[in-house]
Structure 1
Amino acid sequence: MKKLAFIGPLPPPLGGVAVINQSFQNIDYDGYEIIPFDTAEKKDREDIYGRFKFKSVQRNLNINKRLKQFIAKEQPDVINIFITSGMSILRDILFLKTMHKFNIPIIIHFHSKTKGEFALSPMRLKIVGKYFNKYASKIIVLSDQHYSFFVEYFGVDKCTVIENFVNYSDFENEISIKKEDFLFVGRLSREKGFFDLLEAVKILKQKKVFCRIQIVGVAPTERLEAEIDNFIKIYDLYDYFVFNGATFGDEKYTLFKQSRCLIFPSHFENSPVVLKEAIAAKMAILSSDIDANENVLQKRDNYISFEKGNSQKLASKMIIFITNPNRILSMCHASSNIKSYDVSVAQEKFTQMFNNLVLINEK
């Protein structure tokens, strides 16, 4: 049996790359054995927007050493590495250089935004493109919009689109037995819009409007957690929130199945898998109006959007959800009709890519 190596973080922490890496590894690739190499620190908290720390240099050099030993021992037939556009791309280029020496086909799964991160200036993208094109056989991007942006730097022959996906069977449920709860999934950070949600709930309480919000995720730092706790204490919002922590597997799926509406107020995203999980779970969706969200939701009838960062607008839209249950049920049914993000679509594309690369390498 041929070996397929996946290089990248696995949960914890609860982040998009780790979740989608796990999802790709859960696919049954006919004729391939999955061998994972986990790059995560295995902490519940991860401050991906914090300052660079010099102690991480030694840690990443140690990971690179272990990676070299891993590839030498396992001798995979294909390597898939998850890379983002933050500062960690410097480390990942080192990983690419190390793996390239083994003459094994490398697929870069570029889990990137198109603006606002370290590697995404035109000058830096030219440098990134130079290394990617040197070391990678294929470069996966997350959507047609990402393809249009990155193909200039990576080339038509290298780039291909495989969207993030979910296994719909994990989220199967009956809409009629859903609770009226909202669900928030993600880091409890400003970038994810969690502080916008806190302000919106404060407004709801002032208007004497009640709701319950299930929270999946943790604050990236203890300082932010303390700030959140203090805000809830000052405005007495305890009855509005249920904090479930960093929740995985069946426990997380159950929260999706039981909840009627996803709140997704993020300020920027790549191709958010959380929205696709909500669609698979037949949920109504309340999301910020950023391009990445609109690219997934595509003006369908299963969501309402609001202006990013505007807690007043978020509160007013939450009131619409709370006071119009029949409309929300209709949005749930609209989600149930969307099947385009199921695992089967990615499985076929990915398996064909592996097979082609192995055949080329064997010639």
Structure 2
Amino acid sequence: MNLLSSRGIDVHLYSVHNDSIKGLGPLGKMRAAIETTWSFTEYKKIKRFLIDMKPDVVHIHNFFPLISPSIYYACTSLKIPVVQTLHNYRIICPAATFLRDNKICELCLTGSIVNSIRHGCYHDSNVQTLPVSSMISVNKFIGTWNSKVNRYIALTNFAKSKFVESGISSDKVVIKPNFIQRKEIKQKNKDENYILFVGRISIEKGVHHLLEAWRSIQDKKNIKLIIIGDGPEKQQLASRYSMEDVIFLGKQNEEVVLQYMKNARYLVVPSIWYEGFPMTIVEAYSFGTPVICSSIGSLKEVVEDGITGFHFENNNSFQLGKVIEKALSYERYDQMCNKVFQKFNENYTAEINYKQLKGIYMDVIKENKDAILSRK
């Protein structure tokens, strides 16, 4: 919102908080589950809000679970164009991640959504998966995804390909990556000889592969591995991979994280699932820090192998170790850092993002100008 409002665009926020579900009784929770598919309650509230605000366009970031796809219908009933950013795969995968049992799973994309109910893909519960799968299948059947949204924003070409494969018209999906407002970090860390992981320490993030790979490297050239973050796997991994050159720093504030990001030799992103568009990569790029990542999904698109970092085969600790060894001895490291910083300036700045977003808004407004004029 700040990106737009700071440039003179009038922005109004409509939001609800999922924590409100916790205070509901059994009947209230049942109703909330049913309204996940289409909430008449939210439809009425949103329509009143839109009548008061009179927006030129509505940009939706998340409707799940309380708002529901009924927000699209509230907008179209008032002839207001709709833009939806696809931050995850929720409208085609109940888990939103294409991950099941710590492995990539596309059964609901290539087959029946019933697979998700059978496997309990949402919160590991067959019962809780039912309303989510219903939301996906019912709205696909009645044409919501293709007829009630004017433009989808996917973060990468890979993500777009998955949504198009699910049946969404390719013409409706545009690519606009994440961005950050670059921050100047003056203070430097005393130790600059390290590679870095930043994120949640959970199994889908692949930290166990990184530690296994690190343990296998013979000549680390006095480089350390620093891990910033917390999560369910942290204690076990810290105990199992207790090494002098591995430092678990736990959760840190933004300023500390960015200091380490700026001075790291490489950021490592060893995820085993289809990441959306990790902000850690954009942050690393903003400082000219190259990235070593799994060759999977959007990661292999955001990180260019041999140009802005290096790829390794997904789920392959041995190859990750070899790639790290190669990266630590890379003779054209300085040129790579320059390429990284160049890519940031060309793709991920606030100004570039603003121009892209404004262009998307203007396109959908222009395409719907007759409908917009008829309501004024």
TM-score (norm 1): 0.69
Cα distance change on mapping 1:69 and 1:94 into 2, 3 Å:
closer
1:351 is aligned to 2:365:
no
Q: 1:111 aligns with which of 84, 87, 110?
A: 87
Equivalent residues of 2:199, 2:228 under 8 A apart = yes
Equivalent residues of 1:288, 1:307 under 8 A apart = yes
Which residue pairs with 1:132 in the alignment? 145
Residue 244 of structure 1: CA displacement?
A: 4.1
**Letter of the structure 2 residue corresponding to residue 163 of structure 1:** P
Equivalent residues of 2:75, 2:81 under 8 A apart = no
| Counterparts of 2:219 and 2:34, CA distance in 1 | 50
1:78 is aligned to 2:57:
yes
| Counterparts of 2:342 and 2:187, CA distance in 1 | 13
Cα distance change on mapping 1:78 and 1:173 into 2, 3 Å:
farther
Give the secondary-structure state (helix, strand or coil) at the position aligned to 1:184. strand
Equivalent residues of 1:29, 1:351 under 8 A apart = no
Equivalent residues of 2:35, 2:66 under 8 A apart = no
Give the secondary-structure state (helix, strand or coil) at the position aligned to 2:205. coil
| Counterparts of 2:158 and 2:241, CA distance in 1 | 41
| Counterparts of 1:275 and 1:91, CA distance in 2 | 31
Cα distance change on mapping 1:71 and 1:174 into 2, 3 Å:
farther
Equivalent residues of 2:225, 2:245 under 8 A apart = no
Which residue pairs with 1:185 in the alignment? 198
**Letter of the structure 1 residue corresponding to residue 86 of structure 2:** F
* Number of residue-to-residue matches in the alignment: 316
Range 99-108 or range 309-318, more displaced = 99-108
Aligned ranges 1:214-229 → 2 under 5 Å:
214-219=226-231, 224-225=232-233, 228-229=234-235
Q: 1:160 aligns with which of 174, 181, 204?
A: 174
| Counterparts of 1:165 and 1:69, CA distance in 2 | 32
Cα distance change on mapping 1:334 and 1:30 into 2, 3 Å:
closer
Cα distance change on mapping 1:182 and 1:60 into 2, 3 Å:
farther
1:318 is aligned to 2:324:
yes
1:35 is aligned to 2:12:
yes
Residue 58 of structure 1: CA displacement?
A: 4.1
Q: 2:183 aligns with which of 135, 159, 170?
A: 170
Give the secondary-structure state (helix, strand or coil) at the position aligned to 1:179. coil
| Counterparts of 2:330 and 2:305, CA distance in 1 | 21
Aligned-residue CA RMSD in angstroms? 4.2
Give the secondary-structure state (helix, strand or coil) at the position aligned to 2:203. coil
Aligned ranges 1:263-282 → 2 under 5 Å:
263-267=268-272, 268-282=274-288
**Letter of the structure 1 residue corresponding to residue 269 of structure 2:** F
**Letter of the structure 2 residue corresponding to residue 336 of structure 1:** F
| Counterparts of 2:353 and 2:313, CA distance in 1 | 32
**Letter of the structure 2 residue corresponding to residue 131 of structure 1:** T
| Counterparts of 2:77 and 2:305, CA distance in 1 | 46
| Counterparts of 1:329 and 1:176, CA distance in 2 | 19
Cα deviation per residue 1:215-271 (whole Å; 9 max; x = unaligned)?
34332xxxx24xx313322442475123241644x4443332232310011112234
Unaligned runs of 5+ in 2: 20-27, 93-97, 99-104, 114-135
Which residue pairs with 1:297 in the alignment? 303
| Counterparts of 2:16 and 2:211, CA distance in 1 | 33
Equivalent residues of 2:185, 2:258 under 8 A apart = no
Identity rate of aligned residues, in percent? 20
Which residue pairs with 1:5 in the alignment? none
Cα deviation per residue 1:156-180 (whole Å; 9 max; x = unaligned)?
542322223333x336789999922
Equivalent residues of 2:46, 2:74 under 8 A apart = no
| Counterparts of 2:45 and 2:2, CA distance in 1 | 21
**Letter of the structure 1 residue corresponding to residue 153 of structure 2:** I
Cα deviation per residue 1:74-132 (whole Å; 9 max; x = unaligned)?
63442211259xxx589743544455555432211123459646863466688538211
Which residue pairs with 2:372 in the alignment? 362
Cα distance change on mapping 1:154 and 1:161 into 2, 3 Å:
same
Cα distance change on mapping 1:39 and 1:331 into 2, 3 Å:
farther
Cα distance change on mapping 1:321 and 1:27 into 2, 3 Å:
farther
Give the secondary-structure state (helix, strand or coil) at the position aligned to 2:298. helix
Unaligned runs of 5+ in 1: 1-23, 43-53
**Letter of the structure 1 residue corresponding to residue 202 of structure 2:** S
Which residue pairs with 1:144 in the alignment? 157
Q: Which has the higher strand share?
A: 1
Equivalent residues of 2:195, 2:267 under 8 A apart = yes
Which residue pairs with 1:9 in the alignment? none
Equivalent residues of 1:164, 1:341 under 8 A apart = no
